[in-house]
Amino acid sequence: MKIYLVGGAVRDTLLGLVSKDFDYVVVGSTPEEMLSKGFKQVGSNFPVFLHPESGDEYALARTEESTGDKYQDFDCYFGKDVTLMDDLSRRDLTINAIAKNIETGEYIDPLQGISDINDKIIRHVSDAFNDDPVRILRAFRFQSTLNGYWSIDDNTMIKIESMASQGDLDSLTPERVWKEMEKALSGHRAGLFFTNLSELGLFPEVDALWSTPQNKEHHPEGNVGIHTAMVVNYAANNFGSHVAFAGLCHDFGKPLSYSETGNALQHEIKGLDVIRSFCEKWKVPNSYRDLALITCEYHTKVHGCLGRGANKPMRPKSIMNLFTATNAIDKKARFYHFLEACEADAKGRGGDHPNKPYPQKDYMWDCIMAVKRVDTKEISTKMLNQGKSGLAIGEAIRVSRIDAIRGVYNEYTNSKD
C-alpha cells in the first residue's frame, strides 16, 4: 500500500501557489483495507475515502473506460493491480498528472507534466481526453487562471476543435459549465476563457460581440468582443468574479442594436433579455445575474453622472431615481460592485483609457453614503407628531435624500472650480 499526493496540490506546489485541496491516490489497497484503517467511504461509482483525522480525500488507484455520452458513463476498475501510471494516464492534462510520494517527497512524472509547467503549456494526457468534454473547459480555464501566459499545445487544440465539431459540447450540463465558468472568472486572463469557447460555439452571445463594431472615438480597441474581453480581464484582476461576470454581459445588447439601427442606441435595454436567457441556460446564480442586469441597464448613466461632452451632470433627483431603481440603499454592497463594473467598462479599452481616472465611482459612492446618513427615523417621528400620513413622510424622506445628494454635487462642483 503506497500513498501519493496527486492533482492540483502537486501542480500548485510546483507553481509556488498555495493549494486548498489535497487529494491522494492509494496504490495496492482495497476498500476493505481502507475501512479497517478508519477511513470513511464516500464514493459510489469508485472508492473514495475520507481520512479519519484530516478529512482529505483518498481514492484507490483506478482505470476508467467511457461507456456513453454522459460524464457519469464510465466503467471503473480499482483492483490492487492498478498501478500509479495507470491512474495518472486517465487524467486530463499533464500538469495534473504528477504524483508526489508522501514518504520520500519524490515526484513521479511519467508524462512530463513538470516540463510543461516550466514551459507553460497546456497539454492533454491521452485520447481519454475525448471521453469528457468538460476537459475542454478545464484546459481553457487553466490557461485563463494560472499565473503567466500559458499556451495550448497544438495537438491538444486540434483535438479540442475536433471534439467541438462533432458536437461534444452539446452534452455538457449547465451545472458543469457554470462551475468552470465561475472559476475562470477569477483568472487574470478570464476573458480568454470566453473568447476561446465562443469560437467553438458554446457561447453565441459572446461570439456575436466579435462581429459588432464600436465607436472608435470611445473604443480604439476595435469591436465589442475585444472590449468585453478587456473589461472581463480588468474586473477579474481588480474586483472579483461577480464584477467580471457583469462585465462579460454588460454589452450583450449591442449586436441587436447595431443590427437594427446601425449604432449602440438602447443597447442597455436590449441586452436585458439576452442576459436573462444566458443565465437561465447555464443556471447562473441570482447574485451574478442581478448584478449583470443592473450593470447592463445603468452603466452608461454612471459614466455620464458628472457630465460628458455636451451633456450636463445628472441632477440630484435623477441620481436618487437611479438609487431607487437599483435598490442601492438596501443593497449597498451590490451597488458598490455595480460601480466597480462601471469602472472596469471605462478602463477596459484601448489607448490610454486604462490609465485615466474614473471619478464617477467615488462621486456616486459619496452620494449614496450621504443618502444613508439621512436620519429617516428623526424625520418620521417629527412628522408623525404633526399628524402627517405615510405618503407625506415618504416624500419628505425622499426630498431630504435628494438634498443630501445635492450637497455632494456642490462639493464636487466647487472642488473643480
User: What digits encode the pLDDT tens for the residues 124-138?
Assistant: 999 989 999 999 999
Q: How far is CA 161 from CA 142, 149, 202, 239, 241, in A?
A: 17, 21, 12, 32, 27
SS3 149: coil
Segment among 73-77, 110-114, 369-373 with least mean pLDDT: 73-77
Give the pLDDT score at 76. 79
Q: Which CATH architecture has domain 123-202?
A: Orthogonal Bundle (1.10)
Q: Rounded CA gap, 366 and 25, in Å?
A: 54
Residue type, 172: L
Q: Domain residue spans in the chain?
A: 1-119, 123-202, 370-416
Q: Rounded CA gap, 219 and 207, in Å?
A: 18
Report the percent of the chain where pLDDT is more than 90: 84
CA nearest to 133, candidates 173, 104, 74, 101: 173
Residue 46 above 90 pLDDT? no
Segment among 43-52, 118-127, 237-246, 326-335 with least mean pLDDT: 43-52
User: What digits encode the pLDDT tens for the residues 374-394?
Assistant: 999 999 999 999 888 889 999
Q: Mention every residue, 6+ apart, whose C-beta is less than 8 A from residue 193.
A: 140, 141, 143, 144, 181, 184, 187
Beta strands (DSSP E) in 61-192 are 63-66, 74-77, 99-101, 107-108, 121-122, 151-152
Q: Rounded CA gap, 220 and 353, in Å?
A: 9
In CATH, 1-119 is 3.40.50.620: no
User: What digits encode the pLDDT tens for the residues 142-177?
Assistant: 999 999 999 999 999 999 999 999 999 999 999 999
